[in-house]
């Protein structure tokens, strides 16, 4: 069983990668094992819709349920030899992604707000979280949401409904930051942490 609609997203961490790339659907695939990664004939698939604020955890839960349903439907067919595999070559172009490294979740001011949001979704709790860096260290962003105000890229800004963090085209509103393992939803604490790592304020 593989956590994508093969032949797309072969390799490791497919659930995280589909979120990073902003896909609106993915799925699971039951396939034969071969020496090459995720290359075997396909015996069944189920598509899974991805909602705009999907996280790796919620998508993993969807995939687990879809996997159960797919096995329940497919195993009797396999036992009775009533189904044959389909070559992945018949299904179009393949793509492959390797394992994710901590640096893959580094948020940079040159990113669009959508790119940053996708990175945050892909490693939201209980994953290790995306992070930003300043002159004096880094801070994790456990959760943030798109916002329509303005904020200088690479800066934070205080607004009536919280703290914004600026990216190339628009900001995100910070919901939860983590300083090490300590989380906070308190805007005053968030400002202190941001200043401590060297993120400048847009005044």
pLDDT tens digit sequence for 99-135: 999 999 999 999 999 999 999 999 999 999 999 999 9
CB 139 within 8 A of CB 193: yes
14 and 93, same domain (yes or no) = yes
Residues in the chain: 203
- Residues 110, 196, single domain; the answer is yes
Query: Which CATH number is 22's domain given?
Result: 3.40.50.170
CATH number at residue 192: 3.10.25.10
User: Using one digit for the tens of pLDDT, what is the confidence trace for 137-167?
Assistant: 999 999 999 999 999 999 999 999 999 999 9
* 3 domain residue, yes or no: no
Same structural domain, 136 and 183? yes
Cut 0.85: pTM above it: yes
CA-angle at 79, arms to 78 and 85, nearest 5°: 20
State the total domains in the chain.
Answer: 2
With respect to residue 17, please indicate whether it lies within any of the assigned structural domains.
yes
Burial class (CB in 10 A: 0-12, 13-18, 19+), 191: middle
Spatial distance between the Cα atoms of 126 and 15, rounded to a whole number of angstroms: 14
Of 97, 132, 158, the position where a domain reaches its end is 97
User: Which of these three, 80, 97, 114, is where a domain ends?
Assistant: 97
């Amino acid at each position: 069983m593989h956590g994508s609609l093969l032949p797309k997203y072969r390799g490791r961490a497919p659930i995280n990668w589909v979120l990073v790339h902003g896909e609106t659907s993915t799925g699971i695939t039951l396939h034969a094992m071969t020496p090459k990664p995720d290359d075997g004939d396909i015996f069944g698939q189920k598509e899974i819709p991805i909602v705009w604020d999907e996280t790796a955890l919620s998508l993993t839960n969807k995939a687990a349920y879809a996997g159960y349903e797919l096995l329940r439907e497919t195993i009797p067919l396999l036992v009775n030899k009533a189904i044959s595999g389909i070559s992945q070559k018949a299904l179009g172009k393949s793509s492959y992604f390797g394992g994710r490294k901590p640096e893959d979740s580094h948020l940079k001011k040159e990113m669009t707000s959508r790119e940053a949001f996708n990175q945050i979704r892909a490693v939201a709790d209980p994953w290790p979280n995306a992070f930003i860096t300043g002159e004096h260290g880094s801070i994790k962003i456990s959760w943030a949401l798109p916002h329509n105000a303005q904020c200088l890229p690479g800066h934070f800004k205080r607004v009536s409904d919280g703290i914004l963090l600026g990216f190339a085209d628009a900001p995100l509103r910070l919901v939860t930051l983590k300083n090490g393992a300590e989380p906070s939803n308190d805007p005053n604490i968030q400002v202190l942490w941001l200043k401590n790592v060297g993120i400048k304020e847009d005044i």
